[in-house]
């Protein structure tokens, strides 16, 4: 474990030391065109053909769904009389991509709603997929692909892999209706940054205007910029969007330290700085040792043989001296100073939290 921690710190240090000056990124990679987005679809479906791994008889909505489906096919049956284990109720979800047309195929995901053990080998029956407005935009049907399995025997032993109650159908839904949307109806193009920032926005406006050769781009706020479709730009708006997406911009990212407490992962931005502070960090070690012995009475003495447990508790604290850390230094020096303390990733998490509270860490601390 010690070798693993040292290797992680060495890797973290090398990653930080290798940080290069800020590089330009395409607008396509850091922003979105307003209006170009997908739409979520969902529907209630029934999976048939399971090998005894479907919903139990206690799941009434599955039996009712089967009864309703059979009634539409001309077979009337009371749902209370239905007792099958090869059927499961599922929630079907999908995303309708922007500008997609009727007849196109999209992927769908199925999630069990009842107590089914597995959807492996099942077939989804014709399922309408609706949008937030209640209209049907696609229909799904087909064989399910499950990236896992669940098996059991009569003795109660079982084995499983991944999540067999969730599956997907590649290209399993056919689009029946397109969402009407005119991207250029407002005669402008609005670009929205995924990470709003005023400095980055000034770079975006400046570089777009340099591309167009005239001051047309106007920043609305720290997240969005508008380019009006005037004159010759109106003749080919699609080509204009393609040109705008290739514009390179130096993105200004604020100082940030991201910490994942579950895995002990720490990522630091190159603009992170520390005020000069005195730091001491030590761990309290508690060791409890139990030993079981046998108490044997002497010959011809009254008594009986018994087990006796002896416990030994030791408490110790690591010796730690104050160290000077921080000041007007670079990220390289910050990492070197923290590594010199011999701190593990778990120690660094506690150190960063205390430094932030003391006002010595000049960065946003994000704890996941």
pLDDT at 322 over 50: no
Write down the pLDDT at residue 80.
Answer: 76
338 or 7, greater pLDDT? 338
Q: Which pLDDT band holds residue 6 (cuts at 50, 70, 90)? A: very low
pLDDT in tens, 215-243: 999 999 999 999 999 988 889 999 999 99
Cβ atoms of residues 7 and 48 within 8 Å: no
pLDDT at 212 over 90: yes
Q: Which residue has the tokens 């850091």?
A: 30
pLDDT in tens, 124-157: 999 999 999 999 999 999 999 987 666 665 565 6
pLDDT at 2 over 50: no
Write down the pLDDT at residue 286.
Answer: 39
- Alpha-carbon span 64 to 350, nearest angstrom: 55
Percent of the chain at pLDDT exceeding 70 = 72
Spell out the residues 6+ positions from residue 289 whose beta carbon is closer than 8 angstroms to its own: 311, 312, 313, 314
Cβ atoms of residues 259 and 368 within 8 Å: yes
pTM of the model: 0.66
Q: How many CB atoms lie within 10 A of CB 91?
A: 14
Q: How many CB atoms lie within 10 A of CB 127?
A: 23
pLDDT at 317 over 50: no
Average pLDDT over residues 69-75: 83
Instruction: Parse the chain into domains and list their residue ranges.
Output: 2-20+256-288+314-367, 24-35+183-250, 39-175
- Alpha-carbon span 303 to 207, nearest angstrom: 94
Q: Which pLDDT band holds residue 301 (cuts at 50, 70, 90)? A: low
The CATH class of 24-35+183-250 is: alpha beta
Nearest to 194 by CA among 363, 366, 26: 26
Q: What does the CA dihedral 55, 119, 149, 172 come to, rounded to 10 degrees?
A: -170
Q: Which pLDDT band holds residue 91 (cuts at 50, 70, 90)? A: very high
Q: What Cα–Cα distance (Å) separates residue 284 from each residue in 66, 321, 322? A: 62, 15, 17
Average pLDDT over residues 281-300: 56
Q: What Cα–Cα distance (Å) separates residue 58 from each residue in 82, 84, 289? A: 11, 11, 51
pLDDT at 330 over 70: no
Q: Which pLDDT band holds residue 284 (cuts at 50, 70, 90)? A: very low
Percent of the chain at pLDDT exceeding 90 = 37
Q: Which of 41-50, 51-60, 271-280, 306-315 shows the lowest per-residue confidence on average (mean pLDDT)?
A: 306-315
Write down the pLDDT at residue 184.
Answer: 87
Nearest to 187 by CA among 237, 150, 121: 237
Q: Give a three-class secondary structure readout of the chain.
A: CHHHHHHHHHHHHHHHHCCCCCCEEEHHHHEEECCCCCEEEEEEEEEECCCCCCCCCCCHHHHHHHHHHHHHCCCCCCHHHCCCCCEEEEEEEEEECCCCCCCCEEEEEEEECCCCCCCCCCEEEEEEEECCCCCEEEEEEEECECCCEEEECCCCCEEEECCCCEEEEEEEEEECCCCCCCCCCCCEEEEEECCCCHHHHHHHHHHHHHHHCCCCCEECCCCEEEEECCHHHHCCHHHHHHHHHCCEEECCCCCEEEEECCCCEEEECCCCEEEEEEECCCCEEEEEEEEEEEECCCCCCCCCCEEEEEEEEEEEECCCCCEEEEECCCHHHHHHHHHHCCCCHHHHHHHHHHHHHHCCEECEEEEC
- Alpha-carbon span 232 to 215, nearest angstrom: 15
Cβ atoms of residues 124 and 138 within 8 Å: no
């Amino acid at each position: 474990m010690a070798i693993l921690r040292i290797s992680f710190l060495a890797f973290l240090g090398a990653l930080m030391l290798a940080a290069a000056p800020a590089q330009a990124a395409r607008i396509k990679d850091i922003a979105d065109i307003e209006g170009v987005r997908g739409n979520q679809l969902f529907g209630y479906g029934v999976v048939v053909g399971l090998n005894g791994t479907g919903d139990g008889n206690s799941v009434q909505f599955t039996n009712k769904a089967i009864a309703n489906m059979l009634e539409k096919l001309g077979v009337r049956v009371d749902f209370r009389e239905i007792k099958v284990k090869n059927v499961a109720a599922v929630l079907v979800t999908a995303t309708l991509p922007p500008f997609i047309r009727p007849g196109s195929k999209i992927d769908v995901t199925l999630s069990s709603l009842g107590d089914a053990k597995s959807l492996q080998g099942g077939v989804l029956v014709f399922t309408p997929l609706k949008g937030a407005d209640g209209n049907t935009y696609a229909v799904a049907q087909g064989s399910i692909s499950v990236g896992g399995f669940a098996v059991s025997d009569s003795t109660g032993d079982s084995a499983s892999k991944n999540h067999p109650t969730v599956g997907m159908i590649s290209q399993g839904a056919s689009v029946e209706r397109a969402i009407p949307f005119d991207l250029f109806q407002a005669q402008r193009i609005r670009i929205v940054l995924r990470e709003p920032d005023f400095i980055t926005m000034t770079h975006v406006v400046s570089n777009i205007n340099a591309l167009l050769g005239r001051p047309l781009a106007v920043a609305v706020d720290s997240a969005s910029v508008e380019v009006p479709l005037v004159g010759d730009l109106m003749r080919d708006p699609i080509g204009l969007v393609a040109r705008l997406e290739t514009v390179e911009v130096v993105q200004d990212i604020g100082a940030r330290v991201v910490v994942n407490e579950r895995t002990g992962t720490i990522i630091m931005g190159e603009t992170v700085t520390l005020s000069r502070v005195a730091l001491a960090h030590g761990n309290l070690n508690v060791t409890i040792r139990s030993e079981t012995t046998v108490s044997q009475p002497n010959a011809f003495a009254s008594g009986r043989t018994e087990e006796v447990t002896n416990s030994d508790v030791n408490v110790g604290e690591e010796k730690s001296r104050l160290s000077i850390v921080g000041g007007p230094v670079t990220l390289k020096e910050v990492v070197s100073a923290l590594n010199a303390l011999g701190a593990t990733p778990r120690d660094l998490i506690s150190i960063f939290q205390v430094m932030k509270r003391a006002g010595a860490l000049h960065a946003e601390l994000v704890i996941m």
